[in-house]
Structure 1
Amino acid sequence: MATGGFTRLPSGDVVVALRLSPPSGGGDIRVIVLSANRQRAFTRLRNLGFRGVRLSGNAEPPTADEVRAVLHHPDGLVWRDADATDAVGWQAFTALR
């Protein structure tokens, strides 16, 4: 089970933030997904190889900077290392593969 959280935007969309281990191995990453609802966000991640992604609770909701980053990205899906500082930019999901 992943740690993270979500927030609902005034438009009705949902931003989900999760701390995951990438399918290829390595350190944890923080993934931010913009979607119509939480289930669609999890479906997008499952389709990209993150099997069994679930969220229990809202312990680590996305920050304002994370919401802004995902809103300005055309895919609505960004990531970076979980331990990265704010100086490190968000990357497109295609850079992870």
Structure 2
Amino acid sequence: MAAGGFCKLPNGRVVVALNLPSPTAGDPDAAVRFLVHAQNRARALTRLRNLGLRAVYLRGNAAPPTPDEITAVLHHPDGLIWRVAPDPGHGGAAMELWRPIRSLVRHTAGRP
């Protein structure tokens, strides 16, 4: 289920997109889509690992960020956002807004 990809921007920086299992949902099929804007792919993955997502790897480019996703992460001051991954049964249309990573970290910090 861990799909992901990246897009290299004209200035040399990258936007990395990853679908990971949801840390808060009880549904095993639920996924969270993370977008990270960084200097390179390694730094993008390091930013996620520093938040506690230790087993994060990017293999291939199966699910690169869309132009709308790139715009969203570039306009966010942290350069790191997430939302529940869209359900493929709905034609890939996303139903949720992008959220800052602080809201996910704060939400999962209270879990045992």
Further displaced range: 55-64 or 1-10:
1-10
Greater radius of gyration (CA) = 2
Query: Which of residues 5, 25, 35 in structure 1 aligns to 2:38?
Result: 35
User: Percent identity at matched positions?
Assistant: 54
Secondary structure of 1:96's partner?
helix
The structure in which a higher percent of residues are helix is 2
Give the partner amino acid of 1:93. I
1:33-84 per-residue CA deviation (whole Å, 9 max, x = no partner) reads 0000000000000000111211111000000010000000000000000126
Give the partner amino acid of 1:11. N
Give the structure 1 partner of residue 72 of structure 2.
Answer: 69
Give the partner amino acid of 2:13. D
Structure 2 unaligned residues grouped into runs of 5+: 88-92, 106-112
Q: Is 2:85 the counterpart of 1:82?
A: yes
Tell me: higher relative CO, structure 1 or 2? Use CA pairs within 8 A at least 6 residues apart. 1
**Cα 1:42–1:65, aligned 2, differ >3 Å: closer, same or farther?**
same
Give the structure 2 partner of residue 47 of structure 1.
Answer: 50
Query: Which of residues 86, 98, 102 in structure 2 aligns to 1:94?
Result: 102
For residue 88 of structure 1, report the CA deviation from its aligned partner: 2.3
Secondary structure of 2:68's partner?
helix
Count of residues paired in the alignment: 96
Per the normalisation by structure 1, the TM-score is 0.90
Per the normalisation by structure 2, the TM-score is 0.79
